[in-house]
Every structure is written in structure tokens, then in C-alpha cells.
Structure 1
Amino acid sequence: MPPAKKRTRTYDPARIRTAVLAQLGNVRQAVRTLTPEQLALPTRLADWSVRELVAHIGMAVTAIGRSLDLPEPARPDASLLDWPFATSANSSAIDESTRRLARDHPDLDAYLADAERGLIRQLDAHPGTRLLATNAGALPLADYLVTRTVELVVHTDDLNAALPGLDIPCDRQALATATRLLADALAAKAPGGSTEVRVPPFAVVQCVEGPRHTRGTPPNVVETDPLTWIRLATGRVAWRDAVQDAKVSASGERADLAGLLPIMA
């Protein structure tokens, strides 16, 4: 008998909307306290400053509006799990746009406030089934909104890394969604059932070709916390460093994920 086909994870649109707006609010609250000197500090993202990182967060939110301004695609031709693998294709354009936005919006709190108001209007005006032309292909608005949790959580962590002590909190639902989406992307990248990846309390996926376990403790297990997983999946932390620092536990001959990470960059 062939193995059962895995069901695609679904997300509650109302909870995702609440999570996106909550995390954007967390970022806004922190950004309005930053001094010019702090905004000029470097980040771990190439040569972006904190100012440019904040501008990019706003750009991630306004991406929905830019897609809504385009003609609606005739039909969906991508899935939610295509998105993590498509993010690097437009890196040079994203860098150029980010720098321009940082120059054009000296008041970053006002910029983020405008982005927030615009997002609320757009979500009120359009159903979740409305198709958007995205970098991954044509996706429903509800699915694309899920990807915004990844953008917001990842870049919140980038801000916290650039400014020790800032400690912007992660909304629990936003963190859970980002964790699950990136875990599912790993399972899509390396389908199989020989390795179990656990990211408590939010996600458990099986991946990697090889003997499939059916009961009891699987022979190959990887376990880590949500933020470490997100850092691994986005290239902020190297697999070897996370293992050496005891941020990841990995047991079994198929538990080395170094060749599969990062998932997106």
C-alpha cells in the first residue's frame, strides 16, 4: 500500500490577519523609540543599516498593495510552499527598492503607520480568494498574507540582533505560522519519512528519503526552538554553529540537515 499523501497545512485567515497586524504593531512601537544613531547602525543583512532594515519591513507589508494594483491573474499557478524558494530571485531589485524607501521616508514611524492603514483597508476590501501576482506565482491573498508572518518575524529578529536590548517581542501566532511554513518547506524540499524535525511547540515534520518509521521513537530526530529554526531556515545561523552551541539536537545518521539549509535567503 502506498504511503498516505500528506495534507497541505491550512491557516485561519482571521488569525493570520491578527498576527500580521500584531507583529507590525510590535515593530512600530520599537521603531518610534530609535535614535538617529541607532538607525545608522549596521545589521547582519549585507550592508543594510537599521534604517534600511525598517524600510524593508514596510516594503514587505506594502507588497500586498503593489500586487493588488496589478491585473488579477486568471488562475492560481503556485502554492504557498513555492514562496520560500522564490525569495532570492529578486534580491537585487529588493535591495535597490529598500535603499530608495529608506531615503524617501525619513519618518519611519509614519511610513509604517501608512503601511498598516493601507493593509487594513486592502484586507477589508478584498476577499482572501483574490489572486495576486507574486514573485512565487499567482497566489490567493489569504496565502500571501501567511508569508508576511515570515517576513515580519525574521526581520524582527534581525532588528533585535542589530540592537541588543531592544527585545521586540514576537506575536505567538506570527511566530507559530512562520515556524510551520518554513518547516513544511523543508519537508517539501526533502520529501521522505526517515527524519523527524521537531520545533516545539509549533511544528513537527518528517523529511529526507530513507527507511520510514511507523511507531515509537524515530531513528533520526532533529529538535530545536522556533527562533533557532527560523534562523537556520533563513541562513542567519549555520547548521554546524547551531549544533556546536547546543541550539540544535540531532541524532541519527540522517539527522544532519546542513545540505538542506538554508531554505530561503
Structure 2
Amino acid sequence: MPPAKKRARSYDPVRTRAAVLAQFGSVREGVRGLTAEQGALPTRLGDWTVRELVAHIGMAVTAVHRALDRPAPPRQDARVTDWPFATSGSSAAIAAFTRDLAAEHPDLDAYLAEVEQSLRALLGATPGGRLLETDAGALPLDDYLVTRAVELVVHTDDLNAAVPGLDVPHDRQALAAATRLLADALAVRAPGGSTEVRIPPFAVVQCVEGPRHTRGTPPNVVETDPLTWIRLATGRTQWAEAVGTAVRASGERADLGPLLPLMA
């Protein structure tokens, strides 16, 4: 018999909306008191400064606004797990847009406040099934909001890495959504059942071609924490650097290095 087809993961739309708003609110609160010197600090995102990173976070959220300004596609033609693989093609345009935003908004707190207010209004007025045209294809709003949780979690971590002592907290539900989506994307990139990837307490996925494990302890296991996984999946941390410290890997098919990062 062929292996059973895996059921796509579902996300609670109420929790996802709350997570996006909570994580964005935490970022707003965290960067409100940044000094000019802190805003000029470099980040791990090429030549972006902290100010440009903050502007980009606002831009990532207003992607919802821009998508809702366009006509709804006639039908859904993508899955949420397609999104991580569709981000790199528009990186140059995103970088240019980000720099323009940072220059146009000297008061970033006022900009983020406006973004938050308008997002709340849009989410209150728009059904979750409304289709949006995205980089990955046509997705429902509820699915696209999962990708906004990923953006917010990833860039919150970027901010914390750039500004010593900032420590913007991660909303638990946003962190869970980001972990799960990127874990599922790995299973899409490397379908199979020979390797079990564990990211407690949020996700476990089977991936990589080879003999399928059915009972007992899997012969190939990778285990790590959510933030390490997110950094690996987005290229912030290299596989070789993490194995043996933040990542525990055992088995001949437990080398995920050739599969990472999933998005850049």
C-alpha cells in the first residue's frame, strides 16, 4: 500500500490573529525607547541598520494592507507551506522599499502605531477566507497571517541580536506558528519518513526519503529548540555551527545541512 497522505496542518484563525497583534505590539513597545545611536546599529541583515529593520517589520505587516487593496484572486492556488520558498525572489525590491520607508518615517513609533491601528481595523472588517495574491500564490487571509507571524518572530529575534539588552519577548502562539510552518516546509522540501525532526514543545515532523520508521525510537532523530530551529531555517545559524550544541542529531540521515536554509 502507498503511504497515507499527510493531512495539512491547520491553524486556529483566532489565535493566529491574536498572535500577530501581540507580537507586533511587543515590537512596538520594545523599540519605542531606542536612541538614535541604537537605531544606527548594524544588524545581521546585510547593511540594514536597526532603524531599517524596524521599518521593515512595519512593512511586513502592511503586506496585508497592500494585498487587500488588490482584487481577490478567483481561486486559491497555493498552500501556506509554499510561502517560505517564495520569499527570496523579491529580496531586492523589499530592500529598496525598506530603505525608503525608514527615510520617509523619522518617527518610527508613530509609523508603527498607525500600522497597528489600521491592521486591527482591517482584521475586524475582513473575513478570514478572503483570498489574497501573495508571492507564493493565492492564499486565504487566515493562512497569510501565519506567514506574518513568521516574519514577526524572525525579525524580533533579529532585533534582539542587534541591540544588546533589548529582549523583546516572543509571543508563545506566534513562536509556535513560526516553528510549525517552517517545520512543515522542511517536510515539503524533503518528503519521506526516515528522519524525525523534533522541536519541542511545538512540532514534530517526519521527512527525508529512506526506510520508514513505524515503532520504537526512530533511527534518525534531530531535536532542537524553537528559536534555534527558526534561525537554522532562515539562515541566521549554520547547521555545522549548531550540531552538537543547540542541535542533537543522530543517525545517518540526520544531516539536515544540505536542506537548509529553507528561506533567505
**Same fold, judged at TM 0.5 (above):** yes
Gap regions ≥5 residues in structure 1: none
* Counterpart position of 1:10: 10
- Would you say how many aligned residue pairs link Structure 1 and Structure 2? 264
Correspondences of 1:178-257 after superposition (within 5 Å): 178-244=178-244, 246-257=245-256
Correspondences of 1:28-43 after superposition (within 5 Å): 28-43=28-43
Secondary structure of 1:102's match? Answer: helix
Distance in 2, Cα, partners of 1:70 & 1:191: 34
Distance in 2, Cα, partners of 1:259 & 1:103: 38
Q: CA deviation at 1:125?
A: 1.1
Q: Deviations over 1:210-246 (max 9, x none)?
A: 00010000000000000000000000000000115x0
* Counterpart position of 1:24: 24
Secondary structure of 1:209's match? Answer: coil
- 2:92 matched to 1:92? yes
Distance in 2, Cα, partners of 1:72 & 1:205: 33
Q: Deviations over 1:165-206 (max 9, x none)?
A: 111100000000000000000001000000000000000000
* Counterpart position of 2:164: 164
Distance in 1, Cα, partners of 2:99 & 2:107: 14
Q: Give the letter aligned to residue 257 of structure 1.
A: L
Secondary structure of 1:157's match? Answer: helix
CA RMSD of aligned residues (A): 0.6
Distance in 1, Cα, partners of 2:105 & 2:146: 26
- Aligned residues: percent identity? 75
Distance in 1, Cα, partners of 2:206 & 2:217: 13
Q: Give the letter aligned to residue 70 of structure 2.
A: L
Q: CA deviation at 1:3?
A: 1.2
Distance in 2, Cα, partners of 1:78 & 1:225: 29
Q: CA deviation at 1:84?
A: 0.4
Q: Deviations over 1:113-140 (max 9, x none)?
A: 1111111111111100101011111110
Distance in 2, Cα, partners of 1:159 & 1:122: 26
* Counterpart position of 1:103: 103
Q: Give the letter aligned to residue 223 of structure 2.
A: E
TM-score in terms of structure 1 length: 0.99
Q: Deviations over 1:20-48 (max 9, x none)?
A: 00000100001101001100000000000
Correspondences of 1:20-99 after superposition (within 5 Å): 20-99=20-99
Distance in 2, Cα, partners of 1:164 & 1:253: 39
Secondary structure of 1:90's match? Answer: helix
Secondary structure of 1:198's match? Answer: strand
Q: Deviations over 1:127-155 (max 9, x none)?
A: 00101011111110010001011000000
Distance in 2, Cα, partners of 1:3 & 1:138: 29
Distance in 2, Cα, partners of 1:68 & 1:166: 33
Q: CA deviation at 1:4?
A: 1.1
Q: Give the letter aligned to residue 11 of structure 2.
A: Y
Distance in 1, Cα, partners of 2:260 & 2:27: 27
Q: CA deviation at 1:71?
A: 1.1
Q: Deviations over 1:81-109 (max 9, x none)?
A: 11000000100000000000000011111
Gap regions ≥5 residues in structure 2: none
- 2:132 matched to 1:132? yes
